[in-house]
Amino acid sequence: MAGASERASTETSSATEPVRQAIAKLREGIESKIIGQRDVIELLLLALLADGHALLEGLPGLAKTRAVKTLARVLGTELHRVQFTPDLLPSDVTGSVVYHAEQGSGRFQFEPGPIFGHVVLIDEINRAPAKVQSALLEAMEERQVTVAGQTHPLPQPFFVLATQNPIEQEGTYPLPEAQLDRFLLHVRVDYPDAEAELAIVRMVRSEERGDKTVSAVPLDAIAAARRAVSQSVKTSENVERYLVAIVAATRNAGALDPDLGKQIEVGVSPRASLALDRVSRARAWLQERDYVTADDVRAVAPAVLRHRLLLAYQAKAKGISADQVIARLLELVAIGG
């Protein structure tokens, strides 16, 4: 029996090896064009493998849009881009029913909007009002769009990446909690260091001379990688209880630390537990393991939780960020406790 089990494990490993190579090629392709943001790239890959959507936040000029464009190019698929502005309408995103006149008669036909794509970039999502932001809810959660009573499925894979400038900038609208919760990960994009910035200058100079080549990865490799994550990566009960304990601690932080309890207005929902599970399994697979560790959970917790926590006024007044609250929670929640 042991021999049969070993043979099955070897066969599974050999079957997933081409998939791992494809994802490694995808990572290399993105890293060749996005320099100094390796953590951002890994989180984008995790969102893609976990079949979720990502919100990228950072100041203008930090290559948020470029990262999404590069991802689409390496996947060999067309990028569907929507620039959010205050005058945008929901139908500009989802599509609308149009009347077509044909030889004296006519018919109504649905014209798909830019949301109908494999990789969809929502640029500056917080530049549009809530009505347009909410047009994404059904698409992101249900993978379908309903217009004039008719439901239209979206293509698979379907991956939404939205960019956001900090909400304190003029002319922006904070995303409502229901919209934020639809994003699997909230990815912070920060400044590169000096060496990385020097490499960026040289890379762009090279691109101006015509060097823009990048190797494409088959789009179906994403579906295969998602199956591998779902079927081959296991989570022990101990780790399951740990990730649930982290989520539960956001709702009752005062039991761990009275001061911390005063900093959280509303804890995260069970969707956060599901997200932690999915993303930690994807990270384990990227690390070439078939099991999840507590370190996987801790590594992805900030990106999973930071946009789901609702901080109290006391924390905001003191300049305490969601990341600081999450870091304190991870210190207090015991592994296996």
Q: What is the pLDDT of residues 287-318, one digit of tens each?
A: 999 999 999 999 999 999 999 998 888 888 88
- pLDDT, tens digit (0-9, with 9 covering 90-100), for 222-252: 999 999 999 999 999 999 999 999 999 999 9
What single letter denotes the amino acid at residue 31? E
Domain topology for 234-332: Helicase, Ruva Protein; domain 3 (1.10.8)
Task: Indicate where the chain has its CATH 3.40.50.300 domain(s).
Answer: 13-89+117-209
- Give residue 171's pLDDT: 66
The answer to whether 136 touches 80, Cβ cutoff 8 Å, is no
pLDDT of 5 strictly over 70? no
CA distance readout (Å), 19 to 13, 45, 99, 159, 234: 10, 13, 45, 19, 18
Compute the distance between CA of residue 88 and CA of residue 81 in angstroms, rounded to an integer. 13
Give the number of other CB atoms < 10 A from CB of residue 149: 6
Q: What is the mean pLDDT of the chain?
A: 86
Task: Indicate where the chain has its CATH 1.10.8.80 domain(s).
Answer: 234-332
pLDDT of 42 strictly over 60? yes
- pLDDT, tens digit (0-9, with 9 covering 90-100), for 54-102: 999 888 888 888 888 888 888 888 889 999 888 888 889 998 888 777 7
User: Thinking of the domain 13-89+117-209, which architecture would CATH place it in?
Assistant: 3-Layer(aba) Sandwich (3.40)
- pLDDT, tens digit (0-9, with 9 covering 90-100), for 91-146: 899 988 887 777 667 788 888 999 999 999 998 888 888 788 877 877 888 898 88
Grade residue 1 by pLDDT with cuts at 50, 70 and 90. very low
Place of tokens 């090279």: 206
The stretch 3-17 carries a mean pLDDT of 52
